[in-house]
Amino acid sequence: MALARLGRNDHRLALSAADCTTLEPLATAWLARGITVDYLTTALTAGLPAHIDSPAGLLHRRLTDKIPPHIPRATEDRSPDTKEPTHEALLVECTNCRRPGPPQALPDGLCRPCHHAHTTGSNDTTAPTTEEIATVKAHIANLRNLLKPA
């Protein structure tokens, strides 16, 4: 069905029923790899030439050459004995001092010391000094200069 819609999205990719039948196994291979129909459509229509002599030939080539790698599903990653899905250890950073920790240790995005300082209104001991601010500004200015065209 996604192949038949390509001609509606771009008249240069109009396919016959026979063309759709021929290309269907290739498109099905993409979908079997966990690709969505929208992603498939975008991959097939991105960067089209101005003139297309053979829409079926072009799409066959793209379906063959641009097929994405197989992405294992979550059930394939687990051993048969595992009942719960396995998760890699996830660490997040405190939004104030950038201290890493597990998500449950950083309620509202703040570590315990920063959360305490924020709720009690005490002075923030992790605030940058004037020298640190000047160093960051100089570094950013240098990066901007490097990005300027020569």
Give whole-number Cα distances, 51 to 6, 13, 60, in Å: 15, 10, 16
The residues near 51 (Cβ < 8 Å, ≥ 6 apart) are 12
Element (H, E) at 93: strand 92-93
3-state secondary structure of 57: helix
pLDDT more than 90, % of the chain: 13
Distance CA 58, CA 51 (A): 11
Q: Read off the tokens for 4.
A: 């038949």
Mean pLDDT on 99-117: 79
Average pLDDT over residues 64-82: 68
Residue 22: name the closest of 56, 62, 53 by CA.
56
**Res 31 pLDDT > 90:** no
User: Higher pLDDT residue, 115 or 14?
Assistant: 14
> What is the band of 96 on the pLDDT scale with cuts at 50, 70, 90?
confident
State the average pLDDT over residues 86-113: 75
What is each CA distance from 50 to 15, 23, 46, 55, in whole angstroms?
Answer: 17, 22, 12, 12
43 vs 61: CA distance, rounded Å = 12
- Evaluate whether 53 touches 36 at the Cβ level (below 8 Å): no
Q: What is the pLDDT of residue 54?
A: 92
